[in-house]
Amino acid sequence: MTKETPKTGSWTTIRQQLATLEQPALLALVKELYQAAPGNRDFLHARYPPLGGGEEALEAYRRKIVEQFFPARGFGKLKLAEARKAIRDYGKATGHLAGIVELMMTYVENGARFTQEYGDIDERFYISVESVLDELAALLLGEARALYPEFQHRLAHVKQMSGGIGWGFGDHVAEVVDELKAELGGGA
């Protein structure tokens, strides 16, 4: 059996070429990538924050989420996939569990606030916010259990904001928040 040649454009091909570069050439390439796209800059800032400065990167991703609901000018575009992508991108860049939970909470809070301010939205909107809340709850019931006390009051506020909202949204939020309170205790 013969060894297959890597496909052109595959990671294997690129990795082989990168492995031949000296450190100055690699740094120059990373600089070019940094300058090429805001997403690359955000990723690198999140992955390599200045000493004691991881908050700036988290805040940049938080702004991406809030911007979809409440931009500085005009009305929210509700590009929910972009807001969810910010959570995933931050997670890939840092793996920082507390930051991921914070961004999920930001998404849910802004979703609840948006529907409270603008009224009934559509099913797609509610499904998206509910699914992020469900992911958040799963983390809090699992590997992020120790973080629950930091978020319990914010969850209670989301429950309060969501009361009476249609599409079963308010009921779902109440059910999830109450389940977290029953399982983890506290005042949520």
pLDDT at 12: 84
pLDDT at residue number 167: 81
What does the DSSP 8-state code read for residue 50? P
C-alpha span between 172 and 107 (Å, rounded): 16
Instruction: Write down the pLDDT at residue 51.
Output: 59
Q: For residue 14, what pLDDT band results from cuts at 50, 70 and 90?
A: confident
pLDDT beyond 70 at 187: no
| Average pLDDT of span 84-109 | 96
Task: List the domain boundaries for the chain.
Answer: 23-184
Q: How far apart are CA 104 and CA 128, in angstroms?
A: 11
pLDDT, position 24: 67
pLDDT band at 80 (very low <50, low <70, confident <90, very high): very high
Across the range 162-181, mean pLDDT stands at 94
**pLDDT at residue 188, as a whole number:** 43
If you count them, how many residues does the chain have?
188
Q: Say what the pLDDT of residue 166 is.
A: 81
Mean pLDDT across 150-167: 94
pLDDT at 52: 60
Residue position matching structure tokens 């840092």: 94
